[in-house]
Structure 1
Amino acid sequence: MNLSQRQCYLILLGIAILLSGLQLTVGGSSLNWWAPNALESDIIWDIRVPRTVLTWSVAIALGLAGAVMQLLLRNPLAEPGITGVSGCAALVTIASLYFGWLPAFSFGLPALALVGGLFGVSLLMLLAGQRASPTRLILAGVAIATMSSAAMGLLLYLAPNPFAFQEWAFWHMGSLANKSWHSVMLALPGVALALPLVWLGRRFLYALTLSEETVATMGFNVARYRNLMLLAVALLTTASVVAAGVIGFVGLLAPHAVRLIGFNHPKYVLWLSPITAILLLLSFDTIAQLMSTARELPVGVIAALVGAPLLIVLLVRERTRDA
């Protein structure tokens, strides 16, 4: 039986709600959900519910950014981090904490990180050129991501004390632990600003299954729309980085999950990727909480442990297909 996009979306949404319920019940202490006392109410509404809402917000940002990148670059192996945007945003965030420009709870932090993300996009376009091919964009992005990662490693090494190093390193690995409504408020503005941009550029992304010359004859200003979509990716990636640190592979896996269930049209890949990203991040975070360790594993580590082998499988499939 062939499902429509709406039917598939409703099914995935139902599964996401069930997984959210499971995530809410997982934690260091058992709670009486039917008649909670004052302490249990605080735990529910100040710790667990914000964590679930943040999971949805970050997953939507990563899933949508991953879908936009894969459609924009016409490369199924592209993901938000490949542009260097997440690396530059993370670098500026760590630098602002290292030099004391802003405290970790400041609402100016997303704006400062967005500056870093936009710098990464500008540097990407400068290195790749105005009429860059997808291959040149990817190579430029890899170079920027590598440089920003090295700079972050240097700042972490020069941390003023071991506690700061531990906190920043834990944040850099991507974590949803110990988050509050403040973290949710850090993520929401970027997502809210990016969604209208993606909606405006949706037909351009659908048309990119054709050559850029053909897309230009359809009335699209390719350079302008590409820059618009890169700005949306910068907003989405920055929102995720500031709120939860660097979480890789979710943006790569979500569009592929959509294709695996049979929806290959760009329209489906674009709008179903956020909900599949929610399923992935909810699953990763629940696994991170259930694993018996002295300290909760960062969700970014779980995502990498799952995503890296899958990336190898995708690379082998691409090589086999081209052979």
Structure 2
Amino acid sequence: MKSRHLIALVGLVILAVLANLLVSRDGLLLGAFGDLLRGEESLGTRILAELRFPRAILGALVGAGLGASGAALQGFFRNPLADPGIVGVSASSGLGAVIALYFGLAGISLLMIPMAAALGGLVGVGFLLLLAGRRASSTTLILSGVAVSAVASSMTALLMNLSPNPWALAEIAYWLMGSLADANWNEVRFAAPLILAGTTLLVLVRNDLDPLSLGEETARSLGVNLPWLRLAIVLGSALAVGGGVAVAGAIGFIGLVVPHLLRPFVASRPAALLLPSALGGAALLSLADVGTRLLSGPGIPLYLGVLTALLGAPFFVWLVRSTQGRAP
């Protein structure tokens, strides 16, 4: 990616985060931001410091993790339709959170749901690696991820079916829709290390993705350690995606859409796509979060996962059709 494109992308991230921080229906926070810079205290500055800042930071972090994971998985599987959900982390993390909600563990600590979601994601990855085996091919890994997602989704549906009352069912359903509305500094401190560690691991192995685009045999002949690369991609994606799901719920399509939007700017090189995709994911999710606030009606919130699905599903349909059109 040319330096001017990268600078423009960084600028877009900054603008998107500022919009997520300051945009509101009544314009109160615009004045409060000035008060905050001057050291004055008011209702608006408290809202900024305790609610909007952690929400804006989490939005950027979760989006960056999803974007980087999507680019890494598309490069590893050499499949433009791959996204973070393909390894089963999203469904497994969702199951962990649903278990915590079902058994009322949230009453013990506000961090019980994120912790259960993160643990669920790690268990799902362990099951995936055990099911696929040490020398699994990309196809076997994809099928194993689909199996993990199916098991986790079926267990989630079972717990929702057995939910003891309508309020518990509603709480589970709303969490699964994905939202940053309840973001706080404890969640930032919990999720940031996971997302940053996962994204860093993906960035460290990104240079092996270019040889892999020529095929596994060619990559081996060029010195790529495929078992290590496979483990690094799966664990990196698990940490980056699982950390995001733990605090924001299930948010789809960011990891699918962002790499495709940015691929033309990096000459379709998988290694060069990771960092731009992380920045693009941060910008897109931040702007989507702004959209949820502006489009929500009185007492009827629009959930973040719903909005990203509404935006991403038509893109996915177009992508499938265009991929068919290029097939021989």
Structure 1 residue 262: deviation in Å? 5.4
Is the CA contact 1:174–1:244 (under 8 Å) kept in the aligned structure 2? yes
In structure 2, relative to structure 1, the CA distance for the partners of 1:37 and 1:197 (3 Å cut) is: closer
2:135 aligned to which of 131, 142, 148 = 131
In structure 2, relative to structure 1, the CA distance for the partners of 1:105 and 1:321 (3 Å cut) is: farther
Moved more, 208-217 or 194-203: 194-203
Identity among equivalent positions (%) equals 38
Is the CA contact 1:80–1:251 (under 8 Å) kept in the aligned structure 2? yes
Is the CA contact 2:258–2:277 (under 8 Å) kept in the aligned structure 1? yes
Aligned to 2:310: 305
Whether 1:22 and 2:7 are equivalent positions in the alignment is no
Count of residues in Structure 1 that have an aligned counterpart in Structure 2:
320
Aligned to 1:7: 4
What SS is found at the alignment partner of 2:80?
Answer: coil
Distance of 2:295 and 2:115 partners within structure 1: 35
Q: Per-residue CA shift, 1:164-223, capped at 9, x if unaligned?
A: 322221111111112111221221020232233223312222321122122122223211
1:158 aligned to which of 158, 162, 185 = 162
Is the CA contact 1:105–1:182 (under 8 Å) kept in the aligned structure 2? no
Structure 1 residue 139: deviation in Å? 2.6
Is the CA contact 1:205–1:266 (under 8 Å) kept in the aligned structure 2? yes
Aligned to 1:140: 144
Distance of 2:232 and 2:106 partners within structure 1: 29
CA RMSD of superposed structures (Å): 2.1
Moved more, 292-301 or 51-60: 292-301
Whether 1:77 and 2:74 are equivalent positions in the alignment is no
Is the CA contact 1:186–1:242 (under 8 Å) kept in the aligned structure 2? no
Unaligned regions of 5+ residues in structure 2, if any? none
In structure 2, relative to structure 1, the CA distance for the partners of 1:111 and 1:51 (3 Å cut) is: closer
In structure 2, relative to structure 1, the CA distance for the partners of 1:102 and 1:51 (3 Å cut) is: closer
2:269 aligned to which of 257, 262, 265 = 265
Is the CA contact 1:124–1:144 (under 8 Å) kept in the aligned structure 2? yes
Structure 1 residue 242: deviation in Å? 0.6
Normalized against structure 2, the TM-score is what?
0.90
Distance of 1:164 and 1:186 partners within structure 2: 25
Is the CA contact 2:105–2:113 (under 8 Å) kept in the aligned structure 1? no
Is the CA contact 1:53–1:184 (under 8 Å) kept in the aligned structure 2? yes
What SS is found at the alignment partner of 2:182?
Answer: coil
In structure 2, relative to structure 1, the CA distance for the partners of 1:78 and 1:104 (3 Å cut) is: farther
Whether 1:60 and 2:60 are equivalent positions in the alignment is no
Distance of 1:66 and 1:105 partners within structure 2: 32
Q: Per-residue CA shift, 1:287-316, capped at 9, x if unaligned?
A: 111114232211100100111111111111
Structure 1 residue 43: deviation in Å? 0.7
Normalized against structure 1, the TM-score is what?
0.91
Distance of 2:87 and 2:232 partners within structure 1: 14
Please tell me the residue identity of whatever aligns with 1:13.
V
Distance of 2:230 and 2:110 partners within structure 1: 31
Is the CA contact 1:258–1:268 (under 8 Å) kept in the aligned structure 2? no
1:47 aligned to which of 40, 51, 54 = 51
Distance of 1:96 and 1:257 partners within structure 2: 36
Moved more, 77-86 or 121-130: 121-130
Moved more, 47-56 or 291-300: 291-300
Moved more, 33-42 or 306-315: 33-42
Moved more, 221-230 or 119-128: 119-128
Q: Where does 1:237-276 land on structure 2 (aligned, <5 Å)?
A: 237-261=241-265, 263-276=267-280
Moved more, 246-255 or 167-176: 167-176
